[in-house]
Structure 1
Amino acid sequence: MNANLPPGPIIVFDAECVLCSANAQFVLRHDHARRFRLASMQGEVGAALYRRFGIDPTNPESMIIVDGDRLLRDSDAVLTIYRGLGWPWKALDVLRLVPRFLRDPAYRLIARNRYRIFGRHDACWVPSPDHADRVL
């Protein structure tokens, strides 16, 4: 599977979740270096990446970033995204000063309740043609 994937970090997200899709669109708009690729957990690539790391793609507890054999999840994944977007977004990296044992439960509470809080799309979000090459 790795041989067919582009180099660089891949954000695997829930394309049915309103918040997750909005975040994916935010990344595409602000990632001027085109560093990140995106894959929905509902798609073949995203589901395979979840399974590769022992996560059920039909009921994930976290969005993930996969960079080669490295996995980031929970609040570390979110903060890595914002750091990778450059200024001014990388200023949010200061939140790493908050211990992970405090950050991660807050992240997981929102992740578990994402549909109830933010809503759910009837169909997966589809990128514009301008960004189609960045969504796997």
Structure 2
Amino acid sequence: MNIILFDGECHFCDASVQFIIKRDQNKYFKFASIQSEIGQKLLEEFKIPKTIDSMIYIEGDKSYVKSTAALRICKKLDHLWKLFYPFLIIPVFLRDAVYDLIAKNRHKLGKKTECKIPTKEELERFLH
């Protein structure tokens, strides 16, 4: 299981999902909105607080949030994005401070009023 949970009402999160899809040619990741039924079940199953302000990455039987999730996702992306993975050696409090700054300001872009219509192939990667 390699699932990315994202805020389905956030422009930045939607752009992040589209970014990952384009760079995941091996189709390693599946996606689910945190607001979806399956997203809520996964939050409960992995004991992730519903107040967490982060993209969440579930790999096998473990979950990751904030910068750790982002860097673990980079490890599986195509091309040079793998080079970001070693940044895991930076103390988590420093990495997460940068992540939190971005997360805190992401809604300033406003809520989505329209979404990119996924192709049939892309749609198969979203959990409902």
TM normalised by structure 1 equals 0.82
- What residue number does 1:21 align with? 14
Q: Aligned residues, how many? A: 126
Which string of whole-angstrom CA distances, capped at 9 and with x for unpartnered residues, describes residues 85-125 of structure 1? 13211112232232211001221222132101x33203566
- How far apart in 1 are the matches of 2:30 and 2:52? 19
The one-letter amino acid paired with 1:101 is F
Q: Pick closer, same or farther for the CA change 1:108–1:126 going to 2, 3 Å.
A: farther
The one-letter amino acid paired with 2:10 is C
CA deviation after TM superposition for structure 1 residue 28, in Å = 1.1
Q: CA RMSD in A?
A: 1.8
Q: Pick closer, same or farther for the CA change 1:60–1:124 going to 2, 3 Å.
A: farther
CA deviation after TM superposition for structure 1 residue 51, in Å = 2.5
Out of 68, 74, 85, the position equivalent to 2:66 is 74
Which string of whole-angstrom CA distances, capped at 9 and with x for unpartnered residues, describes residues 62-82 of structure 1? 111112320111101001111
CA deviation after TM superposition for structure 1 residue 60, in Å = 3.0
- How far apart in 1 are the matches of 2:87 and 2:111? 28
Mapping 1:22-41, distance limit 5 Å: 22-41=15-34
Runs of 5+ unmatched residues, structure 2 = none
